[in-house]
């Protein structure tokens, strides 16, 4: 809510009941509890987007008990703008709540010109995090990720940089994203040797994209590391958006990079059958898709994006029905296998 301070300026005050209904899950064997649903700022927080809408989404998230906000150096567009937008909103609304927040950023994809603005070198990671902290107006992030494997830089260099970032107090924990099982195992071994708190692997995971079940989840379990899933709705496929066709203003309707009309057409039969199961559970398809991921014990949180506060509220309702019957799981497996 908003109240007027002594000078008459409106300021944000978080809902006093924000922790009453959110579910929190432990990340691996760490001391960190994450909200079962976290907010990703990949879309809708760039300079091309409405600042007020971004503020409304972040306020709604925190009021719902979502304490984890996930960013990266290249989120926008343009690159860096999501962090700047977050920094502006943080300064005005969330600075007094800093110790209640778990803020993440990443580096690994193309960010600036030249040989030092990409991948996994020590120089790139150190410089990128310094830039990110400046954009967000933070002294430290709670977790800093290497965003993707670098096939040419020794893993010891990349993990060593993450270790030094923790020792410098610029991050409390470290994570990796998009790593395969063997790479994850090697990273875990190096970080354990360096005595660095490696607590999260951020991986793409949905009913239509189950690659993490082929080794990653087991590897994380063995190393006491949690998983945080992104793209849980398969870029919108696992929603009610495409049940009756392809809207012209949708991602698939625009044939964007991450989703095209051909993909929707090829999956529509599965989408409709899954939606029938969701309706019997008194859920939307999107809510069931989120709940289905959270049933995995290694998954500490599911990252969702939101274009509006109402959309975020809708996704959080997935937590109202997390249990699946054996018959429901059998039917879902038959559809998506």
Q: Give residue-wise pLDDT tens across range 71-129.
A: 999 999 999 999 999 999 999 999 999 999 999 999 999 999 999 999 999 999 999 99
Specify the pLDDT at position 252. 61
Distance CA 221, CA 241 (A): 35
Evaluate if pTM is beyond 0.85: yes
Q: Please say whether the beta carbons of 152 and 184 come within 8 A.
A: no
SS3 content of the chain, % helix, strand, coil (to 5): 40, 20, 40
Q: Give residue-wise pLDDT tens across range 191-240.
A: 999 999 999 999 999 999 999 999 999 999 999 999 999 999 999 999 99
pLDDT surpasses 90 at 275? yes
Structural domain 16-234+284-323, CATH architecture: Alpha-Beta Barrel (3.20)
Specify the pLDDT at position 2. 67
Q: Which residue has the higher pLDDT, 277 or 247?
A: 277
Specify the pLDDT at position 254. 60
Average pLDDT of the residues of the chain: 95
Using CB atoms within 10 Å of the CB of residue 119, give its burial: 0 to 12 exposed, 13 to 18 middle, 19+ buried: buried
Q: In DSSP terms, which residues pair with 330 in a beta bridge?
A: none
Q: Give residue-wise pLDDT tens across range 123-162.
A: 999 999 999 999 999 999 999 999 999 999 999 999 999 9
pLDDT surpasses 60 at 253? no
Helices (H), the chain: 51-63, 81-89, 122-136, 155-167, 181-193, 216-223, 261-280, 285-294, 309-316, 326-336
Kindly report which listed range (14-28, 47-61, 251-265, 305-319) carries the lowest average pLDDT score. 251-265
- State how far the alpha carbon of 211 is from the alpha carbons of 56, 172, 180, 240, 262, in Å: 34, 29, 9, 24, 21
Kindly report which listed range (115-124, 187-196, 242-251, 283-292) carries the lowest average pLDDT score. 242-251
Specify the pLDDT at position 251. 62
**Rounded to the nearest 10 degrees, how much is the dihedral formed by the CA atoms of 124, 78, 257, 55?**
110
pLDDT surpasses 80 at 258? no
């Amino acid at each position: 809510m908003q109240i007027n301070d002594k000078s008459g300026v409106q300021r944000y005050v978080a809902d006093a009941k924000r922790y009453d209904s959110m579910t929190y899950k432990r990340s691996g064997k760490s001391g960190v509890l994450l909200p079962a649903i976290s907010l990703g700022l990949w879309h809708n927080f760039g300079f091309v987007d409405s600042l007020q809408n971004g503020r409304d989404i972040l306020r709604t998230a925190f009021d719902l008990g979502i304490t984890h906000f996930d960013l990266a150096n290249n989120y926008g567009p343009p690159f860096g703008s999501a962090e700047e937008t977050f920094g502006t909103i943080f300064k005005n609304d969330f600075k007094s709540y800093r110790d209640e927040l778990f803020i993440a950023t990443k580096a690994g994809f193309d960010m600036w010109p030249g040989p030092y603005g990409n991948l996994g070198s020590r120089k790139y990671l150190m410089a990128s995090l310094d830039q990110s902290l400046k954009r967000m107006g933070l002294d430290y992030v709670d977790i800093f990720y290497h965003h993707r494997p670098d096939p040419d830089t020794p893993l010891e260099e990349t993990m060593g940089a993450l270790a030094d970032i923790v020792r410098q107090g610029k991050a409390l924990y470290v994570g990796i994203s998009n790593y395969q099982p063997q790479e994850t195992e090697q990273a875990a071994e190096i970080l354990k040797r360096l005595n660095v708190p490696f607590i999260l692997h951020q991986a793409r995971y949905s009913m239509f994209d189950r690659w993490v079940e082929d080794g990653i989840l087991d590897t994380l379990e063995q190393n006491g590391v949690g998983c945080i899933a992104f793209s849980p709705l398969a870029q919108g496929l696992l929603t009610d958006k495409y049940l009756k066709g392809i809207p012209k203003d949708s991602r698939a309707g625009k044939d964007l990079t991450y989703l095209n009309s051909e993909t929707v057409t090829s999956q529509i039969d599965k989408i409709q059958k899954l939606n029938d199961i969701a309706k019997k559970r008194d859920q939307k398809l999107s809510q069931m898709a989120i709940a289905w991921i959270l049933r995995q014990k290694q998954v500490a949180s599911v990252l969702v994006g939101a274009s509006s506060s109402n959309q975020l509220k809708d996704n959080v309702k997935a937590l109202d029905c997390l249990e699946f019957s054996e018959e429901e799981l059998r039917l879902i497996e038959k559809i998506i296998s």
